[in-house]
Amino acid sequence: MREIQFREALREAMQEEMRNDENIYLMGEEVAEYNGAYKVSQGMLDEFGAKRVIDTPISELGFAGIGIGSAMNGLKPIIEFMTFNFSLVAIDQIINGAAKIMSMSGGQFSVPIVFRGPTGNAGMLSSQHSQCFENWYANCPGLKVVVPSNPADAKGLLKSCIIDPDPCIFMESELMYGDKGEVPEETYYIPIGKAAVTKEGSDVTLVGFGKIMKVVNAAAAELEKEGIHAEVIDLRTVRPIDYPCIIESVKKTNRLVIVEESWPLGSIATEIAFKVQKDAFDYLDAPILRIMGGDVPLPYAPTLIQEYLPNPERVIKAVKEVMYVTK
């Protein structure tokens, strides 16, 4: 093990797979000459050349479509969006193109493509640059949606996405690129669709994914000090969702709190709550609670951002509510 940054883990994943397969290439705004807007692709132009690390104009619709067409013809593109907020310009290509071509062609074409970049808030960037798109893309059959929370998962999952025969949405965060964590030196892959139980517990199950795991972990640590033993699940993938992992945990703890940054309506948390009450209703000793972002466009003011986002205090309050603890 060695400790590296989140951005370095992503870079290693791309470099390793590009060395293994010359059909893999990276394309997006500022990925080449500028070494990436967030320095994820630093040095990759020098190693792989301009034919495999390609700068594009500000034209998400265009380069997403080029990537899909090239994937249909045997290449394996990695398309970087500077933020998934800008993927809205290309969403027709992703939803009506990449996600549907395999089924609409009767299996004649596959689309082995990765769309990657940051999602969610990144500080004072206001409404248009702070949206969560995990549940948007997870709603669409034909896509796999991956949202890692730490450098080791980011590398192993990105490598799995790059070699996957189907289109993958890989979501990061500007607030995580500098995060450090232990990453194995040997080659490894993490299966898509497999959640991780990152902390064992017996009193309540906490579920989250992506950078919100920092909030979940902080809440679990505080609860432990009060004698409340939370089991923590990092989903890692939100399509497919590892329901068996969640349900097995709920059978043990009998309580569930889900933490997610996105707007409440149609969220990943909503879907998990439905599935658990359907398949594990008899094991629940309390209603399922969820801690979500505010149901408004994200404000610019830092004080309002603080009110909008989930935090450990809200999670702790929810846990005590499902445990009927009054103090």
Of 60, 134, 174, 260, catalytic: 60
Torsion of CA 178, 183, 189, 193, to 10 degrees: -60
Of 12, 29, 129, 134, catalytic: 129
Residues 312 and 319 sit within 8 Å (Cβ to Cβ) = no
Residue 188 bridge partners (DSSP): none
To the query of whether residue 60 is one of the catalytic residues in this protein, the response is yes
Paired tokens of 155: 């590398």
Residues 173 and 27 sit within 8 Å (Cβ to Cβ) = no
- Rounded Cα distance between 28 and 37, Å, is 10
Burial class (CB in 10 A: 0-12, 13-18, 19+), 149: buried
To the query of whether residue 129 is one of the catalytic residues in this protein, the response is yes
What b/e readout covers 247-280, taking b as 16+ CB neighbours within 10 angstroms? bbbbeebbbbbbbbbbbeeebbbbbbbeebeeeb
Angle between the 213-225 and 312-322 helix axes, to the nearest 10 degrees? 60
DSSP states of 38-71 as a string?
A: TSTTTTHHHHH-TTTEEE--S-HHHHHHHHHHHH
Q: Which residues are catalytic?
A: 60, 129
